[in-house]
Structure 1
Amino acid sequence: MAETTTRPDLHEEIHEIRRDPGAYRVLTGDRPTGRLHLGHYFGTLRGRVELQDLGVETYVIVADYQVLTDRDVAERLQEHVEDLVLDYLAAGIDPRRSTIFAHSAVPALNQLLLPFLSLVSVAELGRNPTVKDEIAHSRQAAVSGLMFTYPVHQAADILFCKANLVPVGRDQLPHLELTRTVARRFNDRYATVFPEPAALLSAAPVLLGTDGTKMSKSRGNAIALSATADETARLIKGAKTDAERHITYDPDARPEVSSLLLLAALCQDRAPEQVAQEIGAGGSAALKRTVTEAVNDHLAPMRARRIELSHDRAHVRAVLREGNERARAQADATLDEVRKAMNMAY
């Protein structure tokens, strides 16, 4: 498989983007399977707001159809969709400058799936390492066709709006490479319609959950952005550490302690080594107090905005409706180009 074109992390690239933000179009988003957590925020959400504020055209997808990739039923879907939009708005996604839309509300986007599937082989889908991992952790009794073709769905999500920059973690690079393959093969076979999007890798390392494994909604080890200060304190108090009293930042030898230090450092815009030095021999209790204070202080304005916004669910739904309309217009225009290129404009 060819190497995916990547760009440096956002902070290194920021000067180039500021010089010409109009040259970029970004597609990013999440599955509505529960409340966003600190891993989402420091991994992608904060960067999305930064890109938006620089003037980059940004599409944010609420990937509701993709909830069904690893489960048989999408439970509490409307609630999760609205909660996701609330998290976006509270974090600073501005619907006047970014298009927030639901996957299922854009028929022309999904219509791109058929020609895209004709451009990839079953063997290529089967080799995708991310799909293999998702199948291994699937909640379904059997692997569905939707799960197997998940990367092609993502290609449609990205290419319908002609995004040329996609913020991803390293585990998503195989998906993005397939998107680039689809774009290249369509352009070669029919006509040049799609860009080959580049990956914008996040500089944020993986944050561990309270149990010492990767922070994840499905594992129940995450600290939600919308958690209360007391809930946050309780979760951090129960976080896994180690028996060594002197606190040091050593991700290889002390991953749980180091992840907590990193979390405090990210919230305070400091180096984790500096946080560790200040705690010193205070032990895990002092570490957890420091992290709790840092997280609650950092998230307090966001949480206040979320509570205020949650009192007007009609506004949340209006944001989504307006975003759906803009996304539909873009998808319709792209599908028209695709039909003409394929000689299907009857």
Structure 2
Amino acid sequence: MSSDTFLASKRMSDEARAQLAVHPEKFTMLSGDRPTGRLHMGHYFGTIIERVKLQDMGVPSLILVADYQVITDRDNTEHIADNVHNMVIDYLACGIDPEKTIIFNHSAVPALNQLMLPFLSLVTEAELLRNPTVKSEQEASGHALTGLLLTYPVHQACDILFCKGTIVPVGKDQLPHIEQTRQIARRFNEHYGQVFPEPVGLLTDAVEIPGLDGRKMSKSYGNAIALSATAEETAKLIKKSQTDSERFITFDKENRPGVSALLTTAALTTGRREEDIAAEIGNDGAGALKRYVTESVNGYLAPIRERRAELEQKPEFIREVLHEGNRRANAIADATLQEVREAMGMVY
């Protein structure tokens, strides 16, 4: 993404935030996650906090459990039912309110997926191949470039546009998806008449929480602290995280990724600065740092874990939340698909 394109996206994001403060009800937020495993602290600080904030501001909100997108880079759907169930529990434990936010999944909303056909006619092969996320996903997985992975950005456009989403909380690396969605909406409107808004990527100012090895926190790297982890499991993970041989604790992301990752984790869960925590621990070394991080993380996650434990005892309620969300999402998708068919002159 060029600097000019990023600046334009940043400007639109800033304008949307200013308007959100005044008229949150005029926006629609769509966000989601792939149920490839348990949600972790990276998800929480990266997007979930923002979703809860927008929901509580009064923004009509939808959260997608992107079950079909699991098979973009995986050969099977093993454990998917358990992953979906636990994802809904995590959302609710973190403050997503099913009365305010529609929680739904791809495979239960046929009309959403049917938008793929007209949308695919509006993009070229070259445009799909240029999308940097498609390239990075393929490289990370080592998976063949399947048709679904190639058209992943178009499927995301279906996710956003089926509900006429106007804002999507994203990091900078996801902006190409939003631009492709805007392009599809624009081309559809030019070809067939005004149906879709052009959504804005709402840039989050969240710090990317590093994993316990200093890399990006990711399930695939095995460096993540799951929201569903117990206090004991969290302590073990932090205890075995890699630091370095230097005793005195300093914050230096370039040269001390392990130590710095622990400091950032502590900073996010205490509201303090990394440098201040490092100065306080000083010559007490990595052992003291790990104890501090363990106490900070477990203290921060305690109320989420408490709510999670309560929700785990209510499997029928969790199923009902998803079924009701799917019902509401289907009503929206059916209405949008009918509009699309009418605009295309395909109602006989």
**TM-score class, shorter:** over 0.9
1:37 aligns with 2:5: no
Equivalent residue number for residue 347 of structure 2: 345
CA shift for structure 1 position 17: 2.1
CA RMSD between the two structures: 1.9
* Contact 1:113/1:153, CA 8 A, preserved across alignment: yes
Aligned partner letter, 2:128: L
* Contact 1:251/1:258, CA 8 A, preserved across alignment: yes
1:108 aligns with 2:98: no
1:97 aligns with 2:107: no
TM-score by length of structure 1 reads: 0.95
1:178 aligns with 2:157: no
What's the secondary structure of 1:28's corresponding residue? Answer: strand
CA shift for structure 1 position 110: 0.4
Equivalent residue number for residue 124 of structure 1: 127
Equivalent residue number for residue 68 of structure 1: 71
Could you tell me how far apart the structure 1 residues matched to 2:263 and 2:214 are?
A: 13
What's the secondary structure of 1:123's corresponding residue? Answer: helix
Aligned partner letter, 1:264: A
Residue-by-residue CA offset, 1:126-148 (whole Å, 9 max, x unaligned): 111110111122364x3211111
Could you tell me how far apart the structure 1 residues matched to 2:13 and 2:101 are?
A: 18
Identical aligned pairs, as a percentage?
59
Equivalent residue number for residue 86 of structure 2: 83
Larger mean CA deviation between 102-111 and 166-175 belongs to 166-175
Equivalent residue number for residue 29 of structure 2: 26
Matches within 5 A, 1:1-346: 3=5, 5-7=8-10, 16-138=19-141, 140=143, 142-346=144-348
* Contact 2:212/2:262, CA 8 A, preserved across alignment: no
Aligned partner letter, 2:64: I
Could you tell me how far apart the structure 2 residues matched to 1:319 and 1:114 are?
A: 30
Residue-by-residue CA offset, 1:83-107 (whole Å, 9 max, x unaligned): 1000000000000000000111111
Are residues 15 and 198 of structure 1, via their aligned partners in 2, closer, same or farther at CA, if it must alter by over 3 Å?
A: closer
Aligned partner letter, 1:73: N
* Contact 1:10/1:203, CA 8 A, preserved across alignment: no
Unmatched 5+ stretches in structure 1:
none
Could you tell me how far apart the structure 1 residues matched to 2:253 and 2:202 are?
A: 24
Larger mean CA deviation between 247-256 and 146-155 belongs to 247-256
Could you tell me how far apart the structure 2 residues matched to 1:259 and 1:215 are?
A: 10
Unmatched 5+ stretches in structure 2:
none
TM-score by length of structure 2 reads: 0.94
Could you tell me how far apart the structure 1 residues matched to 2:36 and 2:263 are?
A: 28
Could you tell me how far apart the structure 2 residues matched to 1:186 and 1:167 are?
A: 23
Aligned partner letter, 1:124: E
CA shift for structure 1 position 9: 11
Could you tell me how far apart the structure 2 residues matched to 1:79 and 1:228 are?
A: 18
Could you tell me how far apart the structure 2 residues matched to 1:85 and 1:310 are?
A: 10
CA shift for structure 1 position 324: 0.3
